[in-house]
Amino acid sequence: MRTARLVLLGLIGIAAIAVTFLLAPATPSAVSVQTTTRDNSVATAPSFESDIAGALSAAEINNSSAEGAPQQTVVNGWVARDLLSIIGRQLDAQNGLNAKSSQDLLTLSSAIDTASATQAKALNELITAPIDRRPTLLLLLAVLAIVVIGITTGRDNLAEQLATVLADRDRTPAVTTSSWPNPDGQPQNPPVS
């Protein structure tokens, strides 16, 4: 009987090792995350104050040397031309900033779309990941080992152990509520003689 127990327990041990290593669930594939870097500097339009101040000071100098309305008209035309060229450069700079802001928004939108797709893919992989059934199977093998030990234990020995447990139980006095003391220290229900 001892040989049968050892053989059966050896087979259960081999089965436990096989369950542990052969039934391991496949690991989910790694999700690659694309990172983007963003320039956080605030783009500002260049200042054209010095250009405007230069055009107006040139106009004052030319206007002070102008003699008569026709020359003042010419000076005013030059000032208008200079100021309009400054306004044109201001608009070009502002359009460049708007284009950069639009490009930044498109980059940000693309990054959000990529992150959402990656998150959905990772969530789908978690949902469809196989369940690890090894703990259940190992527990089943442990119970089977206990059953094998119980079955292969000699019946006489098992019967003796059961008889000893039952005899010990009969020898132990049972505690009843009638033997519990009151707060006075007296039994609650004194025995009737």
Please state, in angstroms and rounded to a whole number, the distance separating the CA atoms of residues 67 and 193.
148
Please state, in angstroms and rounded to a whole number, the distance separating the CA atoms of residues 176 and 64.
125
Q: Are 19 and 134 in contact (CB under 8 A)?
A: yes
**Residue ranges per domain, the chain?**
43-129, 132-170
CA 135 to chain centre: 25
| CB hemisphere CA count around 151 (13 angstroms) | 12
**Prediction pTM value:** 0.38
User: What is the per-residue pLDDT for 31?
Assistant: 55
For each successive 10 residues of the chain (193 residues), what is the average pLDDT?
82 89 74 60 75 88 86 89 90 85 87 89 81 87 86 68 75 58 62 55
Q: Are 152 and 5 in contact (CB under 8 A)?
A: yes
User: What is the per-residue pLDDT for 84?
Assistant: 92
DSSP, res 69: H
Alpha-carbon torsion (27, 31, 32, 35), positive or negative: negative
Residues 6+ apart with CB under 8 A from 74: 66
> Phi and psi at residue 23, in whole multiples of 5°?
-105, 20
End-to-end CA distance of the chain: 57
User: What is the per-residue pLDDT for 80?
Assistant: 92
User: What is the per-residue pLDDT for 190?
Assistant: 54
Coil, helix or strand for 59? helix
User: What is the per-residue pLDDT for 164?
Assistant: 79
Instruction: Say which residue the tokens 């690659």 belong to.
Output: 32
